[in-house]
Each structure stands twice: as structure tokens, then as C-alpha cells.
Structure 1
Amino acid sequence: MNLIEWAIHVTESLGGPGVALLLFLENVFPPIPSEVVLPVAGVVAGMGRHSFVTMLLWALVGGLAGAYLLYGIGYLVGPDRVRHWCRRVPLVDVEDFDKSLDWFARHGQSGIFLGRMVPGVRSLISIPAGIYRMSLLKFTLLTASGSTIWNTLFIAAGFYLGENWHVIEPYTDLFSNLVAVTIVILLAWFVVTRLRRNRGRERHQ
């Protein structure tokens, strides 16, 4: 039994609590795909074993629990410790980090909200929210809002398509792959530009 088959088995066996468990684990172990768990939750709801709303609530509980865990890790790390690391790692400097604090203050809300609807990012976005000490209430509202939209779409797909929910898989796979490629390109660009900038500073010293 592979990971996806196991996730499907947990969802079908435990119902709502199983969905909550899997979405909690997804936040700390992204290879568990919500794009599979949520439609299966919808299929189970469509069979009458649980209501649509019940599955949606369990999914929200699991997602929030995982988001709180990562938010807490970021909060414990805190900006001072990140500044300390910036002084030791040549790719990032303290000035850039302080600018990112300003950026997060202006755009962090949309980042948290939209990030919950992007595979891969949906988990990691909770860590900077903790590092930058976003209000827990604001973090909860934004995370819950973004997660509810994402969860509703995929649970509804399973609920209405039933066993044929697999027809949406090619589209979710394509979307996930595009996001992954975009993230890799952005990270590569970040690393290259930081290395070039630091080398330029060394030449002028």
C-alpha cells in the first residue's frame, strides 16, 4: 500500500476524524496530498456516512491544527534568531530580512490567504507568519478563509462526481507541477542574485 492508498484507506475507515488527521499531517508532511484526501472525503459524504458540512468542518480543524503547529515553530524561532542566522549565511543579510518584515506587514495577509490554496506553499506559509509575529486571530481568520475555499472545491468534486472524482486529477497534477517549477525557479533566481550581489560587495571592499 503506497502513501496515497493509505490516505484513502484512512479517510474511508475513519471518516471525518481521518480527514482531520490527514490534513494535519499534510501540513508537516506535504507528500500527503489534500487533492486526494478531500475528494475522497466528498465521496464518503455523498454515500451518506457523513454530511458534506461535517467533512468540511473536520477538514478545517485538521488544517488549522497543522497550521498552528508551523506558526508556533516560526514564532519560537522569532525575528531575532533569524537575524542571527542572516549574519552567518552569505545568501541573506539582515537588511534584506528587515525589508521582508516590511513587505510582510503590507502583503502578508494576502500571502496567507492565497497561500492556503497553493499546494506546497499552503504548509510553509504558516512559518513566516509566526516569525513575523502576525496576530494569531488574524492568522486564524486568513488561514480558515483560504482553507475553506480550497477544501470546499475538492470536497464538492468528490461529493458530486462520486467514484469518478479522478477526472480532476490531471488538472490538479498539472497545477501542482506548475507551482513546483515556479517555486524552484524563484529560489534559483534568489540564490543567484544574492551570490552575485555579495561578490560585488566583496570586490568593492
Structure 2
Amino acid sequence: MTAETFFQLFNQYGLILVCAVVFCEYMNLPGFPAGVIMPCVGVLIARSELSLPLTVFLSVIAGVLGSLVIYAVCYWGGEPVMEKLFGRSKKFKSLVRKCHEFIDAQHGRGLAIIRVIPCIRTIVSIPAGLLRMPVKWFIGWSAAGIAVWNTALISFGYFFSEKILSMVM
């Protein structure tokens, strides 16, 4: 997909497209890297008449909902489902185990902290589900971390949109 195609889709679907992309990114689907997507959303918002605060708010909601899908799968499915979904990768299991230990030691705030660490921020829903963290804690602490991450990246794209566009166009 080219940038121009994405701009056309954004002009047509606006915040619905943003929510769908953010939802998929937080479900850990391949091809949706936040470091690229979120600043692009900021650029798109700057080029439109849409509101930055509303976009960030909706992106947090979409992020929490996407995270809840992975959390629920691991909460109700446990280790056997994790094995089927993520295979036998020792590296992945090691990351999940480290997240698990950090959340266990730090309680809910550990979840919020991990939410702002690139690469592991989206997989943290797995250990939270496996730990059977109370859903209200999961939602609250996830929303806090997701809000920090999404606000920083979307705002970066928004405030530096002219500079970004001059480099790519």
C-alpha cells in the first residue's frame, strides 16, 4: 500500500480507519508497527480537520479493546492456547516470562510501564491474561500506558507533520 492510497483511505474513512488500525496493532498482528503507524496518524490528523485530542482518545479505546482480545484468549485459554498461537519459540517464551515476573513484582503499574517499552508493549497482554489479572486492573493500567505511548507518537506526527512530509514527498 502506498502513502497516497493510505491518504485516500483516511480521507474516506477518517477515525474509523485509525481505530481499526490501532485495534489490529494492539492485537499484535504483523504489519502494524506502532512506531510507523502512530506518527502517520498524527500527520494525517494535522492534514485534516479532525481533532488531535479526540484521535488520541479513540486510539486509546481501540488499543485497550485490541489488548483485551489477547488478554481474554490467554485468561480463558491459558498455556495450551498460548502454545498453539505463538508456537514453541524460546525467545518469545522468555519475553513473556520476563513480562510475567515484572507484572507480578510491580502489580498493575508494571503493566503500565511495559506498555511504553517498544517490542514488548503489545505482548504484555499475554502474561496479564495468564496471571488472571483482574480485568478492571488490566483495563485501567493498560489504558494509562497506552495513553502515554499513543499520545507521544501521534503528537510527534501531528506537530512535526510538515517536516515529516517534506522528507517523504
2:24 aligned partner, one-letter code: L
TM-score with structure 1 setting the length: 0.63
- Structure 1 residues 102 and 165, CA gap change in structure 2 (3 angstroms): closer
Does the aligned pair in 2 maintain the 1:16–1:54 contact within 8 Å? no
Structure 1 residues 100-145: Cα deviation after superposition (integer angstroms, max 9, x where no partner): 9776432342432122222331221101101110011111111111
Residue 132 of structure 2 aligns to a residue whose secondary structure is coil
Q: Quick check: 1:78 aligned with 2:43?
A: no
Q: Are residues 11 and 118 of structure 1, via their aligned partners in 2, closer, same or farther at CA, if it must alter by over 3 Å?
A: farther
Match of 1:56 in 2: 56
Q: Is the 8 A contact 1:71 1:126 kept in 2?
A: yes
Letter paired with 1:59: S
By how many angstroms is 1:60 displaced? Answer: 0.8
Residues 30, 120 of structure 1: 8 Å contact kept: no
Tell me the amino acid that sits aligned with residue 141 of structure 2.
Answer: L
The sequence identity of aligned pairs, in percent, is: 26
Unaligned segments of structure 2, at least 5 residues: 82-87, 91-98
Name the counterpart of 1:69: 69
**Residues 1:137 and 2:136 are matched in the alignment:** yes
**Aligned residue in 1 for 2:93:** none
Counterpart position of 2:123: 124
Cα RMSD over matched residues? 3.5
Q: Which residue of 2 aligns with 1:22?
A: 21
Shift of 1:6: 6.3
TM-score, L = length of structure 2: 0.74
Does structure 2 retain, via aligned residues, the 8 Å contact 1:60–1:144? yes
Alignment correspondent of 2:33: 33
* CA-to-aligned-CA distance 1:50-96 (integer Å, 9 cap, x gap): 111111012112111110000001101236x58xxxxxx9x8xxxxx
Structure with greater Cα Rg = 1
Name the structure with the higher helix share: 1
Unaligned runs of 5+ in 1: 83-88, 92-99, 168-205
| Cα pair distance change 1:6/1:145, threshold 3 Å | farther
